[in-house]
Amino acid sequence: MTTAHNGTLALRVDRIEPVTPEINRYTLSAADGAWLPPFSGGSHLTLLIDTENGTRRNAYSLMSSPYDASMYQIAVRRIEDGKGGSVAMHRRISVGDVIPVTIPANLFPLSKHARHHLFIAGGVGITPIFAQLEELNLKGGSFEVHLAVRGPEHATLGRELIERYGDRVTLYGDGERGRMDIAAVLAERPLGTHVYVCGPARMIDDVVDRAHEQGWTDSHIHYEKFEDAGSTGEPFTVTLAKSGAVIEVSPEQSLLEAVEERGFKLPYLCRGGACGECETEVLELDGTLDHRDDWLSEKDRASNAIIMPCVSRATCSKLVINA
Amino acid sequence: MLITGIKSRPVYDQLVPMASGLRHIAVAQGSGGKPVLRLLAEMTAGQRASTTVVYSTESFTGNSYLSELQDQDDVELRVVATNSEALQALDDVLSTANMGTRLYLAGSEGFIGTAMQVASAYGLDRDEILREHAGSFVRRVWCAHCDTYTENVTTRVFRCPGCELDLVVRDHYSSRLAAFQGVKADGEVPGELPEIEELDT
């Protein structure tokens, strides 16, 4: 099996396939030809992408089969007004290029005890579900998929799933069917049903709210925000207590990115405020923290004693963190 | 001896209405009728109207709350004579229940544990269930040698009705089996039994 150096695998681009006007599918294999590390359905990779404005770290869900260790597949949607990572993937990367990629991590695993798996996705949010379905199909789990797309030309991935899984997949917005009624999809489900949602933030919020209205508890609701949680805002300054380094965080970068740019290291995994890996102690604060993560509890947030540098910011005249 | 504090014994809750639920199922046995009556008193009229109570009159201590439960006119009540019938009734109710259901269990440890086995098989998670212990802490014991379950064990050493070995009741509770483990009491030195003390019932 290929091994990681400085936390990343060297993966070669074997194939680039346009699947919608905005989405390319990339097939990657180990540059040294060895087997790839195994993963489970719902896992993602973080690609270190060279752009004109430095290295971008973008997370993409694995959509190939967890049972195939010869290659990884991801889908990248081009975001023209983003930070440049996805645009570089579409315009600068070609077959044969080698990209540094972190080993797979899973923040969106299947529930082992579910009696029925209900997947709801929007657009490119379908990608982690590809791998989850491979896993369920082999294990024999009961599932159905509801996918919303913006038009027939955006429905390629959905049609692939229909080919594989037939009427267990329902496509909305492809010209044949209208909008997805999320409340109706969730209604009158038998006990032990688990819902997984991946798509735009408003779709996730909608599913969580409708599920709560129908009495679902949080243990049965799973989501992954594939959109960059985003950490742009007003600039601020942070001091690293251990080295004394004073670092400016610009409006376009996260605290974590600013620290890394200066050559320091903080622990991280998801870079999206979900996994808890980068949790850092706040030693001094003159101002307020702008918590943007999904990790800290309300109590932790109110304490002003912990921050998640991958997404959260501060409006302050002074911020010292224990790093 | 092999006995220490019981870390594996479940930590029980107090039954209170779970307001986020749309349907409520309460299953109780013997002394467990009392916390269910308290639960019903704390419910809104709407919650009571969407509640089903299953009550088993089987009781180790002899306590019954049947007549008080029968006085709750606006709550659906199913009365059964044995705990195993109560589990069957729970299975029936859950088989047609939908997401949004909340489950309340009250009674002896063995009763709650075996009801949890039924609930888990339907995929109910801990944030959909409250459990309140009522009555004595008599133990349900699983024999490691012949796979027999014995209800209402009160002493440290007892004879397994399945294989007639003298078993010592260990203080390890298995949630999966809903029972304490019983192992041959004189396995090391034949004929040498540990003290036959009363368990903390």
Would residue B8 count as lying in a domain? no
3-state secondary structure of B85: helix
Buried b (16+ CB within 10 A) or exposed e, A283-319: eebeeebbbbbbbbeeebbeeeebbbbbbbbbebeeb
Indicate if B176 and B98 belong to the same structural domain.
Answer: no
Flag whether pLDDT at B161 surpasses 80.
Answer: yes
Pick from B90, B115, B133: which residue ends a domain? B133
- The answer to whether residue B195 sits within a structural domain is no
Q: Is residue B1 part of a domain?
A: no
The answer on B128 and B57 residing in a single domain is yes
From the list A192, A216, A219, which residue is nearest B122 (CB)?
A: A192
Residue B3 has pLDDT above 50, yes or no: no
Residues B129 and B144 placed together within one structural domain of the fold: no
Task: Give the range of the structural domain holding residue B149, as residue numbers without chain letter.
Answer: 139-184
Q: Are residues B129 and B163 in the same domain?
A: no
Q: Kindly list the residues from chain B whose CB atom is less than 8 angstroms away from the CB atom of residue A220.
A: 99, 125
Q: Are B97 and B154 members of one domain?
A: no
User: How close B111 gets to chain A, by Cα (Å)?
Assistant: 21
Q: Which residue of B has its CA nearest to A117?
A: B123
Please state, rounded to an integer, the average pLDDT across all residues of chain B: 92
Q: How far apart are CA A275 and CA A278, in angstroms?
A: 8
Do B107 and B125 lie in one domain? The reply is: yes
Residue A253, pLDDT > 80, answer: no
Contacts 24+ apart (CB under 8 A), B170-173: B170/B2, B170/B3, B171/B2, B171/B3, B171/B4, B171/B5, B171/B6, B171/B8, B171/B9, B172/B6, B172/B8, B173/B6, B173/B8, B173/B9, B173/B10, B173/B109, B173/B113
Q: What is the arithmetic mean of pLDDT over A246-254?
A: 85
Q: Which residues contact A279 (CB under 8 A, 6 or more apart)?
A: A295, A296, A306, A307, A308
Of residues B101 and A269, the one with the higher pLDDT is B101
Q: Nearest CA of chain B to the CA of A132: how many Å? A: 19
CB of A108 within 8 A of CB of A63?
A: no
Q: Does residue B45 sit in the same domain as residue B111?
A: yes
In a domain, B17, yes or no: no
- Looking at the structure, tell me whether residues B79 and B65 fall in a common domain: yes
| The pair of three-digit structure tokens given for residue B84, joined into one six-digit string | 């195993």
Pinpoint the alpha helices (H) of A65-141.
85-91, 127-139
Predicted confidence (pLDDT) at residue B9 exceeds the cutoff of 90: no
Tell if the CB–CB gap between B124 and A192 is shorter than 8 Å: yes
Give the pLDDT confidence score for residue A230 in this predicted structure: 54
Residues B158 and B93 in one domain: no
Question: How many whole angstroms separate alpha carbon A183 and alpha carbon A188?
Answer: 10
pLDDT of A5 above 80 = no
Contact A47, A104 (CB under 8 A): no
Inform me whether the pLDDT recorded for A228 exceeds 60.
no
Is residue B127 domain-shared with residue B167, that is, in the same domain? Answer: no
* pLDDT value at residue A231: 67
Same domain, B117 and B71: yes
Rounded to the nearest 10°, the torsion over CA A200, A203, A208, A213 is 170
B4 falls within a domain: no
Predicted ipTM > 0.85: yes
pLDDT tens, residue by residue, A90-117: 999 999 999 999 888 888 999 998 999 9
CA torsion sign for A214, B93, B106, B46 is: positive
Chain A interface, Cβ < 8 Å to B = 113-115, 186, 188-193, 212, 214-220
Domain harbouring B105, CATH code: 3.40.50.80
Nearest CA in chain B to A116: B123
Question: Which of B101, B133, B165 delimits the end of a domain?
Answer: B133
pLDDT of A132 above 90: yes
* Alpha-carbon A103 to chain mean position: 14
Assess if residue B5 is contained within a domain.
Answer: no
Q: Hey, are the CB atoms on A191 and B122 less than 8 Å from each other?
A: yes
**pLDDT (average), residues A25-31:** 98
| B90 assigned to some structural domain | yes
Closest-CA distance, A296 to chain B, in angstroms, reads 20
Structural tokens at position A249:
């965080």
Minimal CA separation from A195 to chain B, in Å:
11
Residues of A in contact with B125 (CB under 8 A): 113, 217, 219-220
The answer on B156 and B73 residing in a single domain is: no
H-type alpha helices, B96-152 = 109-121
Asked if B99's CB is within 8 angstroms of A214's CB, the reply is yes
Number of folded domains that form chain B: 2
Answer whether residue B18 is part of any domain.
no
